[in-house]
Amino acid sequence: MRGDQYLLLPGPTPIPERIMRAMNKSMVNHRGPELKEIIKDVTVGVKKTFKTENNVLIYPASGSGALEAAVVNFISPGDKVLSISIGVFGDRFAKIATQFGANVEKLDFKWGEVADPKVVKERIDQDVRKEIKVVLVTHNETSTGACNDIKAIKEAMGDHPAIIMVDAVSSLGATDLRMDEWNLDVVVSGSQKAYMIPPGLSFLACNSKALEVHKKNNNPKYYWDVTAGLKYLEKGQTPYTPAISLLYGLQEALKMIQEEGLENIFNRHRNYRDMVRAAVKEIGLQLLTDDKYASNALTSVVVPEEIGANKVRKFLLEEFNIALAGGQQTLDDKIFRIGHLGYVRQLDLLATLGAIEIALVKFGYDLQLGKGLNKAQQFILNNR
Amino acid sequence: MRGDQYLLLPGPTPIPERIMRAMNKSMVNHRGPELKEIIKDVTVGVKKTFKTENNVLIYPASGSGALEAAVVNFISPGDKVLSISIGVFGDRFAKIATQFGANVEKLDFKWGEVADPKVVKERIDQDVRKEIKVVLVTHNETSTGACNDIKAIKEAMGDHPAIIMVDAVSSLGATDLRMDEWNLDVVVSGSQKAYMIPPGLSFLACNSKALEVHKKNNNPKYYWDVTAGLKYLEKGQTPYTPAISLLYGLQEALKMIQEEGLENIFNRHRNYRDMVRAAVKEIGLQLLTDDKYASNALTSVVVPEEIGANKVRKFLLEEFNIALAGGQQTLDDKIFRIGHLGYVRQLDLLATLGAIEIALVKFGYDLQLGKGLNKAQQFILNNR
């Protein structure tokens, strides 16, 4: 008997029982009055998490769908796009843009590190003929656990006319992002991360500057069309059938978010992150990212080559039913990623750190069992 | 955000997601063919957990209901009953018998200890006129975490004609009990303990000797009537509407029990118990029961008076949403009880031990944080 799973991924994240119950309701007419109320209600709630007065569209799609929506609505074939990438998801955003005809220039930074706003500024400043139409950037890079300074990157663009489009799929709700205050043009996010509901919803917000760009956009689109979405939203509807049970869940999730308070939620995520990092350091393992830009959502832990990260993950899954994410692409078997995102409990992280130690000792790593665990315990004691 | 609850009570116990889903089904006709199949199926399964070829009746009732069923079916007013009690639930069995007119003699043992078969034998041997009709005994005493040696107690009765009725509410499925091999006459159990389903079902098994006693029984009864129950069971029905969704859950639970194997389940419970006890000793707290007869289902931990057990429980509940049981009656505020019964995960116990340490240090108890936790970690490492 392994028991139900400890789901410690950087998404999907655990679903609160309260949300499970909220989703477990009958379907209603998606053009009827009940759903109209729900769509209005969740739109208001999601806007608060974006810290924006702009409208937010809710797509029945996963996070990558919202990336595609951003691309097909605001990038036209042939547009010059500057893609700032610090990992797999930065690359994905660039790839989608390429797929839809953009002329993408990559500005890559080392995986595990973040984009240097000075380097961005240099590139932008070089663009004296204002050829760059769109800048793509990932807020929280899920593949590494590094979190870009979006405010600084936007500032680095100065008064360059390009719009900035931010992939905030794994950051929103866990990390502060202020769409309006930072003057961000397009921001997208997804449901299966800090929003604590299953995958299947994604969010796209855009400001008036982006809408101007959209009007002239000539990429073919139907499902993702922002014009259609906004038109229907005025009536409290969606252009096509929405994912009704996920909207039930989202409504409940937004209630929970409001009850706890966004700033408290950010603090909780930081708190869990700091606990995990302190324990991992005490264990003697290397962290992929520096403290300065460490993600609130997940922590990538480097495992010594002679053990291998996947062996540790396999052991944790088989012995304790703990699901941790592995490294992607070049990071495969080098790291595992501990998600501390969404509805994760601090004691589940404590237990997982204990289990990681057991795995390491089992595989011959020189460790005094309990060293990191006690650090975490001490952290909890001192931070309540 | 505290997260969903760590339910570490000696019942109700956590419900596996698989069982939740199984229960979450539409109702059917309780006299129809679908339910007939289910009733037959679960009856076979429950019999296996009782290790009996006797029939088992399934009541829509909690465990105390099955105690009452045992009393009203097999004790007549005026019957001399010997009640062996080692705690609250032993007393309850005696109280119900008294309520229905039995002439109850209490044979009490100190709370936290078990019944001494020698003392039982002495009392039985004194009864040369065979006045005692029924012996009542609790297998696992939930209020203390002491587990009686039922086989030895039954043997102590020798060839005395009294029937023995065993309250196995919190033992069956977690602790070996062999109804037929040990020649037990009546055994009752409940659903919310090792059976991993919600409260609301209880089980009663009786052998042919008990049925003879039942035939002459003159206590008034309707709901609990064994004759009616057995008559309907032949048709795959119950005398009145059964708790259908709980039967769905029970069917799934019995599948899980069969998949894991009863002996493996007993070992798992022993393993968790030994881990908890080793850690608590390392922390320096006293255990209410001796290792020799420590319960597989729960562990009672004595908390120093200057701290108080309830303060620790309150802290764990408020800070971490961990539900532990308190002490009952004279044990109130003296102990807390950690349930390691049913679908509890070993790492939840590890986390809880960590949280208990944090609470103790917070309340000024002299402890090197992590001492017991590391003992538990070591235990896990060495017992896999």
Give which of B256, B296, B347 to mutate to test A binding, by max A Cβ within 10 Å: B347
Task: Compute the distance between CA of residue B189 and CA of residue B57 in angstroms, rounded to an integer.
Answer: 10
Identity of the residue in B4, B322, B361 whose CB atom sits nearest the CB atom of A17:
B4
Q: Does A366 touch chain B (CB under 8 A)?
A: no
CA dist., res. A104 & res. B260, Å (int): 55
Q: Tokens representing B209?
A: 């000797």
Q: Would A338 be classed as within a structural domain?
A: yes
- Write the CA distances from A295 to A57, A323, B48, integer angstroms: 26, 19, 52
Say yes or no: B71 and B209 in one domain: yes
By CA distance, what is B261's nearest residue in A?
A: A1
Residue with tokens 């009709």: B133
Q: CB-based contacts of A133: which residues, under 8 Å, 6+ apart?
A: A75, A76, A79, A80, A81, A162, A163, A213
Q: Kindly provide the residue ranges of all beta strands, DSSP E only, lying in B115-254, ordered along the sequence.
A: 132-138, 140-141, 146-147, 163-167, 186-190, 201-206
Who's near B269: CB < 8 A, 6+ residues apart? Answer: B174, B175, B194, B296, B297, B340, B341
Partner B, chain A 261-300, Cβ-Cβ below 8 Å: 264-265, 268
Binary contact (B347, A352; C-beta < 8 A): yes
User: How far off is chain A from B295, nearest CA to CA, in Å?
Assistant: 19
CB spacing of A369 vs B355 below 8 angstroms: no
Across the strands, what pairs with A204? Answer: A57, A188
Q: How far apart are the C-alpha atoms of B363 and B262, rounded to whole Å?
A: 41
Chain A nearest-CA distance from B376, in A, is 10
Cβ of A373 and B373 within 8 Å? yes
Which residues of chain A register pLDDT less than 50? none
Contacts of B351 in chain A (CB under 8 A): 347-348, 350-351, 354
Number of domains chain B contains: 2
Residues 310-349 of A with CB under 8 A from B: 319-322, 343-348
Distance CA A224, CA A323 (A): 33
Q: Which of A24, A352, A373 sits opposite B377 (nearest CB)?
A: A373
C-beta of residue A357 within 8 angstroms of C-beta of residue B370: no
Which residues from chain B sit within 8 angstroms of residue A319, using beta carbons? Answer: 384
| Inter-chain CB proximity B373 and A377 less than 8 Å | yes
Q: Do B361 and A354 touch (CB under 8 A)?
A: no
The DSSP result for A191-260, as a single string, is TTSTT-S-S-EEEEEE-HHHHHHHHT--S--STT-HHHHHHHHHTT--SS---HHHHHHHHHHHHHHHHH
In this structure, are residues A13 and A7 in contact, taking their beta carbons and an 8 Å threshold? yes
In three-state secondary structure terms, A132 is: strand
Q: How far is A373 from chain B (nearest CA, A)?
A: 8
Contact predicate B196/B342, CB 8 Å: yes
How are beta strands B201-206 and B146-147 bridged, if at all?
unpaired
> Using the beta-carbon criterion (under 8 Å), do B384 and A357 form an inter-chain contact?
no
Bridge partners of A83, per DSSP, are A106, A136
pLDDT, tens only, B293-319: 999 999 999 999 999 999 999 999 999
- With 90 as the cut, is the pLDDT of residue B2 above it? no
Q: Which of A17, A320, A362 sits opposite B347 (nearest CB)?
A: A320
Classify residue A361: in a domain, yes or no. Answer: yes
Provide the mean pLDDT of chain A.
Answer: 97
Nearest chain B residue to A319, by CA: B384
Domain encompassing residue B357: 6-12+261-382
Residues of chain A with C-beta less than 8 angstroms from the C-beta of B24: 24
Q: Do the domain assignments include residue B160? A: yes
Comparing CA positions, the residue from A330, A304, A276, A306 lying closest to residue A112 is: A330
* Pairs of CB atoms within 8 A across A/B: 111
Whether residue B149 contacts residue B137, with contact meaning beta carbons closer than 8 Å, is answered with: no
Q: Sheet of B186-190: strands edge to edge? A: B56-60, B201-206, B186-190, B163-167, B132-138, B80-85, B103-108
Domain identity same for A106 and A74: yes
Instruction: Determine, yes or no, domain membership for B32.
Output: yes
Tell whether A239 and A294 lie within a shared domain: no
Would you call B352 an interface residue with chain A, using a CB distance cutoff of 8 Å? yes
**A69 belongs to a structural domain:** yes
Contact at CB, B343 and A265, closer than 8 angstroms:
no
CATH of the domain at A370: 3.90.1150.10
Residue A1 lies in a domain: no
Nearest CB to A350; choose among B3, B319, B354: B354
Stretch (H or E) spanning A377: helix A371-382
Residue B257's pLDDT band, with cuts at 50, 70 and 90, is very high
Q: What is the pLDDT of residue A2?
A: 82
Whether chain B has a CB inside 8 Å of the CB on A4: the answer is yes
Please check whether residues A234 and A317 belong to one and the same domain: no
CA–CA gap between residue A322 and residue A325 (Å, rounded) = 10
Query: Measured between beta carbons, which residues in chain A are less than 8 angstroms from residue B350?
Result: 350-351, 354-355
pLDDT at B47: 98
Last residue of a domain, one of B224, B259, B294: B259
CB < 8 Å to A384, chain B: 319
Q: Which of A268, A346, A351 is opposite residue B350, by nearest beta carbon? A: A351
The mean per-residue pLDDT over the stretch B54-63 comes to 95
Is A1 within 8 Å of B343 when comparing Cβ atoms? yes
Q: Which residues of B touch A358 (CB under 8 A)?
A: 377, 380-381
CA distance A89 to B363: 47
User: How does pLDDT run across B315-357, given as a tens digit for each residue?
Assistant: 999 999 999 999 999 999 999 999 999 999 999 999 999 999 9
Cβ-contact A203, A188 below 8 angstroms: yes
Judge whether B85 and B109 are in contact, CB under 8 Å: yes
Number of helical (H) and strand (E) elements in chain A, helices listed first: 13, 15
Are B191 and B223 contained in the same domain? yes
Output the six-digit token pair for A74: 């605001």
Residue B347 shares a structural domain with residue B222: no
Q: Is the pLDDT of residue B270 over 90?
A: yes
Cβ atoms A111, A145 nearer than 8 A: no
* Residues in chain A within 8 Å Cβ distance of B373: 354, 370, 373-374, 377
B151: buried, middle or exposed (CB in 10 Å: 19+, 13-18, 0-12)? middle
Cα(A87)–Cα(A75) distance, integer angstroms: 22
pLDDT of B282 = 98
Cβ–Cβ gap B348/A346 under 8 Å: no
Rounded CA-CA distance A369/A358 in Å is: 7
**Cβ contacts of A346 on chain B, cutoff 8 Å:** 3, 320
* A35/A102 same-domain check: yes
Residue that finishes a domain, picked among A208, A225, A259: A259
Contact B3 A343 (CB under 8 A): yes
My answer on whether B203 and B280 are in the same domain is: no
Q: Is B24 on the interface with A (CB under 8 A)?
A: yes
Pick among A6, A259, A347, A369 to test the B interface (most B CBs inside 10 A):
A347
Using one digit for the tens of pLDDT, what is the confidence trace for B163-182? 999 999 999 999 999 999 99
Which chain A residues contact residue B374 at CB under 8 A? 369-370, 373-374
Which pLDDT score is estimated for B1? 83
Residue B242 half-sphere exposure toward CB, CA atoms < 13 A: 31
Please tell me the predicted confidence (pLDDT) of residue A50: 98
Alpha-carbon span A74 to A80, nearest angstrom: 12
Per-residue H/E/C for B341-360: CCCCCHHHHHHHHHHHHHHH
Residues of A whose CB is below 8 A from B6: 345, 347
CB contact under 8 A, A347 and B380: no
Residue B236 belongs to domain with CATH number: 3.40.640.10
CA distance B299 to B294: 7
Does the residue B1 lie in any domain?
A: no
Asked which of A233, A259, A285 is the last residue of a domain, the reply is A259
β-pairing verdict for A325-326 and A6-7: unpaired
Contact of A350 with chain B, judged by CB distance below 8 Å, is answered with yes
What are the chain A neighbours of B260 within 8 Å (beta carbons)?
Answer: 1
Of A4, A260, A358, the CB nearest to B380: A358
Query: Does the pLDDT value for residue B8 go beyond 90?
Result: yes
Residue A183 belongs to a domain: yes
* Contact (CB<8Å) B374/A373: yes
Is residue B220 domain-shared with residue B147, that is, in the same domain?
A: yes
Q: Is A373 within 8 Å of B378 when comparing Cβ atoms?
A: no
CB A375 within 8 A of CB A282: yes
Residues in B touching A373 (Cβ below 8 Å): 354, 370, 373-374, 377
How close does chain A come to B320, measured CA to CA in Å?
7
> pLDDT tens across A288-341, in order?
999 999 999 999 999 999 999 999 999 999 999 999 999 999 999 999 999 999
Whether A103 and A146 map to the same domain: the answer is yes
Q: Does A195 touch chain B (CB under 8 A)?
A: no
Specify whether A294 is located in the same domain as A248. Answer: no
Task: Please check whether residues A188 and A51 belong to one and the same domain.
Answer: yes
Average pLDDT of chain B to the nearest whole number: 97
